[in-house]
Amino acid sequence: MPQSVADRHVIRTRVVEVGGIPTKVLVAGSGRPVVLLHGSGPGVSAQANWSSLIGQLARDFQVIAPDIAGFGDSIGPAGTTYGIKLWVRQLVELLDALALPSATLLGNSFGGGLALAATLRHPERVDGLVLLGTPVGTFEMTEGLRSGWHYEPDEAEMRRILRIFAHDPALVTDDMVRERYRASARPGAQDAFRRLMPEPGPEGTPVKGVPEESLRTITQPTLILHGREDRVIPVELAWRAARHIPNADLKVFSRCGHWVQLERTGEFLREVRDFLGRLS
């Protein structure tokens, strides 16, 4: 029976066993499948990154937003080794479990890096990419990444870190701080984040994203969105990605930090809808 208009906007929660991990997934809508991949950092989850946007995107698309293994409520059994192989496997098995031959991947920061890695390993499962604040190549560890690596659960420190992510500190509300702090305080919450990058050194630390030469092999249409004032992933990396991905368009947002989807929501939705419409 077809979904009603009202039903399409309802966000449902599922738990799907993929990659050997019970994976929490937020789903809504119908039509072209779009997988939203959250970033990393203390207390992050699909809910934290995407909850205010899923209903709006679900007006036109089938939206799937998983908690990536090691983050949110997708926690592996004791001894789980988090890393790119597991994360790609989890994503591909999720598409299989939902009977989706392919999907558009929309990734924020680490989620963008995961989207690129999945595209390189399984290009037939990806029909388009939207990359937000995504690391590529090798770059110097930033203040935002350094702060996240050293973070230990503390509400005041959570507030300080989140204000690095947003250009306008007013975006960081008390509710956001409390929600992220509570999520960060569970045992092992930092394990997956610390697998992403080396421990910061005293005199600067190089961080490696997807190699630039690998990006040249990506043929899928790609939309790159980045905040000019991003203090977590420098905007120069967006230009780097746009130069190397053959079919990439880039938009840089002024007065915007690491969270394009939250800081410039209206423009983000217009850009994404227009891009996805061109894929149809």
The residues carrying an active-site annotation are 109, 230, 258
What is the per-residue burial (b if ≥16 Cβ within 10 Å, else e) of 261-274? bbbbeeebbebbee
Residue 224 CB burial class (10 angstroms; 0-12, 13-18, ≥19): buried
CB 86, CB 23: distance < 8 Å: no
Q: d(Cα 90, Cα 69) in Å, to the nearest integer?
A: 7
Spatial separation of the C-alpha atoms in residues 124 and 260, rounded to whole Å: 28
What token pair was written down for 32? 């072209």
First to last CA, the chain: 23
Phi and psi, residue 95, nearest 5°: -60, -40
Residue 174's contacts (CB-CB under 8 Å, 6 or more residues apart) are none
Distances (CA, A) of 224 to 26, 27, 89, 115, 136: 24, 24, 24, 12, 12
Nearby residues of 152 by Cβ (< 8 Å), 6 or more positions away = 190
